[in-house]
Structure 1
Amino acid sequence: MANAMDWKATSADDRRPVVLVTNDDGIDAPGLRFLVAQLVGARYTVLVSAPDKDYSAVSHGITWRHALRAKRVEIEGATAFAISGTPADCASLGVSGELFDGLIPDLVISGINVGHNSGYHIVYSGTVAGAREAFFNGVPSLAISYNWVGSKSTLDDLKLAAEACMPLINAVVYEVKNKSFPEGCFFNVDVPTDVSHFKGFKITKQGKFFMRAGWEQTTVDTPTLESYQTANISTANTGSSEVSDSVAENQLLFKRVPARIKNEEVEEEETDHRALMDGYITVTPIGGLSCNVQYLPELKTWLEHRLASSL
C-alpha cells in the first residue's frame, strides 16, 4: 500500500476521482443520500446507479431475461439513475460505460445499509453484492453498512456513519489513484451502533456470526425486518394489509421472525462481528464470496499508518 499522503496534494492527475454509489435499500434511502452528500462535499464526481425500490437481502441476484429501466433522479451534486434491477444489476450497469456516457468510476461504494453485514450474513446481502459485482468487473469497491438497533438508532446515526467513513474512503481513493489498492479483494465495512464514539478502524477477517430466523404463520403481510422505510416511523402506519378471505382459503401465509439462538461458541479474535460489537468500524477484505485473508497483515499496517492522522 502507498504511504500515508493525501492524494489531493500529491496526485499529478487533476481530474476529480469518480465515485459510483449504489445500495440495496433503494435510491431514496437516507443512508445513500447521506453518503452522496459527503462525497459531493469532498469534491468527488458522484454517480448514482441504485434500485428503484428496496432490494434488501436479494444476495447476488441479477436480471437476465428482461431489459432494465433507468430513470433520471435529481440528487444535488450527482448524476443519478433509479434502476429497475437488483444491486448487482445497478453496479454492473453503472460501471459498464453505457449509463454515464462512457464514464467509468474509479471506485464503487454500496450503502450505507440499515443493518450490519458481518459474518455469514454477507451471503444474503444485496449491499455486499453491489460491491462484489464491481469487483468482478475490475473496479475497486466498498460495501458499507451501519449496525442499526431499533431501540437506539436514529437517522442521524446514518449521517454520522457517512461522516465517519470518509477518512477510509479518502484513503482508498488515494490507493486507487496510485494503483496500489489490492486487486484481489474489495472491502466490506461495518459501522457500530454508537458511531459517535467508535474506537477506530480495524482490519478484520470474516467470522461465522449468523442470526438464524424462524418462521411463524400470520394473517397480515407486514415487513419483518427494519429498513429505511420503517426506521423511526410510527407503527400505526406500517402499510399492513389484511389478507382477504379468498386468499386465506387457498393458501397459508408465513413470515420470518428473529430467532435469537444463544451461541455457546466464543467468536474468534479479529473477526468482523466481534470487533463491530466492541465498537470498531470493521474493514474486511473480501475476495469473491469470502474473506481474503492473504491481505490481512499488509492491510493492518496500512490502516495504522494511513488513517492514524485522521482519527
Structure 2
Amino acid sequence: MEGAAAIGSRPVLMITNDDGIDAPGLRFLVDRLVAADRYRVLVCAPDSDKSGVGHCITWRRPLSAKRADIMGATAFAVSGTPADCASLGISGKLFDGVIPDLVISGINIGCNCGYHIVYSGTVAAAREAFLYGLPSLAISYNWKGGKSNVNDMKLAADACLPLINAVINELKAKTYPEGSFLNIDVPTDVGNHKGFKITKQGKYMIRIGWEQTFLSTPALETYQTANMDVDSKSGYTDNSPSTPVEDGLLFKRVIVSRDNGEEEEEDTDHKALEEGYITITPLGALSHTEVEAVPYFKGWLMHMADHSTSSSL
C-alpha cells in the first residue's frame, strides 16, 4: 500500500462527508487544501445527501463509484453512506493502492455536538477511519438560519487549515496520539471566533417529536434544506408537490425543543461553541457508561442471581 512516504513529501488527505459530494462545505474545503499546494487530495463522498444516517453501512449490495470532476483532486462519488465512503476510500482498492495519511469528514452544514454525534454521518465517517487505525477529523459549521451564508463555509475552511496543518506536522513527527479522533465544530460567527478550545462531549440535543400529516411529500431533503433551514419551526421547508395518502398513517418529524432541559457543563462542546470557540472534542469508539452506575448494576446482577436461585426451590 502506498502512503505519503512512497509519494514524496506530500501527505495524502482524503475528504468525505455526509451532505454529498456536491455540498459547498466539502467543495470549499477541497479548494483550500488544493490551493495550499502542500497535499495530495483525494475525495470519496456520497453521491447524494446522507445526513443523519449515523454509522449505517451497506452490507448486501455492491456500491457504485463514479469519477467526479473536482479540480486538483482525485474524486469519486459513491452510492453509499458516509461510513461506506470512508471505508472504501481507505481500503486501497479505490485509489490504486494509496492509503491516506489523514481522513477529514466535512465541512458539515450544521453543528455536531452532544448527543447529535450519535446521529451524525459526518462523525461516523471519521469514526470509521479511526476504527481502521487512520487519524481522522470531523468538521462541522454551526449554521443558523437568518445569520449564516454560504461564504461562512469558506471562512470555516480557512479557520480549520491551521489545525489540519498542525495534525499533519504531529503525524510526520510521529507524536500524534492514536487513541482518539477529533470532532471539530466551528461557531456561527466564524470571522470573529475566539480561537480553538479542547472540549468534551456534552448532552446537548434538539428534541424531535412527531406530528401526523395527511400528504405524502417526496423525500427531497438535501443539504440546502435539511441542514440550512434547521432553525425553521418545522425543521425544513419543502415546496414540492404533495399527494394524499390512501392507506396507512403518515407522520413527520418536528422540532420540540433545542436542549435537554439541563444547564450545560463548562468545557462541553455545545456550550463552548455557542460562546464563539472552535471546539475540538477528542472522541473514541467505545460507549462509556457513567462510572457511578457500575456498582449499582453489579449489585443488581447479584440480587437477580439470588432471586433466580430462590425462585427455583
| TM-score for the superposition, normalised by structure 1 | 0.83
1:268 has 2:265 as partner: yes
Partner of 1:228: 224
Partner of 1:182: 177
Determine the C-alpha separation between the residues in 2 that align with 1:162 and 1:284: 18
SS of structure 2 residue aligned to 1:67: coil
Contact 1:203/1:282, CA 8 A, preserved across alignment? yes
The verdict on how the C-alpha distance between 1:29 and 1:229 changes in structure 2, with shifts beyond 3 A counting, is farther
Residue 241 of structure 1, CA deviation:
2.3
Match of 1:27 in 2: 21
Contact 1:220 1:240 in 2 (8 A): no
CA distance in 2, matches of 1:38, 1:160: 10
CA distance in 2, matches of 1:91, 1:83: 10
Shift of 1:238: 4.0
Residue deviations 1:184-210 (CA, integer Å, cap 9, x gap): 100000000110110000000111111
- 2:90 is aligned with 1:95: yes
Which of structure 1's runs of 4+ aligned residues deviate more than 4 A?
222-226, 229-232, 261-264
**Following TM superposition, by how much is the alpha carbon of 1:251 offset from its aligned partner in structure 2, in angstroms?**
2.1
Does residue 107 of structure 1 match 2:98? no
Q: Deviations over 1:217-250 (max 9, x none)?
A: 2224267977235648xx9x9452212x4xx120
Question: Hey, what's the Cα distance between the residues in 2 that align with 1:290 and 1:203?
Answer: 20
Higher relative contact order structure (alpha carbons within 8 Å, sequence separation ≥ 6)? 1
Give the CA deviation at 1:160. 0.6
In the TM superposition, what are the counterparts of 1:134-153 in structure 2 within 5 Å? 134-153=129-148
Task: Letter of the 2:97 partner, please give it.
Answer: G
Instruction: Give the conservation status (yes or no) of the 8 Å contact 1:224–1:255.
Output: no
Task: State the distance in 2 between where 1:193 and 1:223 align.
Answer: 28
Superposition pairs for residues 28-67 of structure 1, below 5 Å?
28-43=22-37, 44-67=39-62
Aligned residue for 2:242?
Answer: 242
Q: Does 1:157 align with 2:152?
A: yes
Structure-2 residue corresponding to 1:172: 167
Q: Show CA shifts across 1:173-193 (max 9, x none).
A: 111111111101000000001
Conserved 8 A contact 1:206-1:290: no
Q: Indicate whether 1:118 and 2:118 are aligned.
A: no
Aligned-partner SS, 1:160 = helix
Change beyond 3 A, Cα 1:41–1:197: same
CA-CA distance at 1:117 after TM superposition: 0.3
Report the Cα distance in structure 2 between the residues aligned to 1:263 and 1:110, rounded to whole angstroms: 27
Task: Name the aligned partner's letter for residue 179 of structure 1.
Answer: K
Distance verdict in 2 for CA 1:197–1:222, change over 3 Å: farther
**2:168 aligned counterpart, secondary structure:** helix
| Paired residue secondary structure (2:45) | strand
CA distance in 2, matches of 1:104, 1:281: 29
Query: Aligned-pair distance for 1:123?
Result: 0.3
Q: For 1:43-70, what per-residue CA distance to the aligned partner results, in whole angstroms no more than 9, with x for missing partners? A: 2100000000100000000011111100
Task: Tell whether the 8 Å contact from 1:47 to 1:78 is kept in structure 2 after alignment.
Answer: yes
Aligned residue type for 1:86: T
Please state how far the C-alpha of 1:167 moved relative to its aligned partner.
0.5
8 Å CA contact 1:112–1:144 kept in 2: the answer is: yes
Structure 2 length-normalised TM? 0.83
**What is the CA distance between 1:211 and its match in structure 2?**
1.0
Question: Residues 262 and 70 from structure 1, CA distance in 2 versus in 1: closer, same or farther, beyond 3 angstroms?
Answer: closer
Tell me the distance in 2 between the aligned counterparts of 1:262 and 1:81: 37
Q: Is the 8 A contact 2:206 2:259 kept in 1?
A: no
Shift of 1:256: 0.8
**Segment drifting more, 268-277 vs 254-263:** 254-263
CA distance in 2, matches of 1:199, 1:111: 21
- In structure 2, the CA distance between the partners of 1:19 and 1:54, relative to structure 1 (3 Å rule), is same
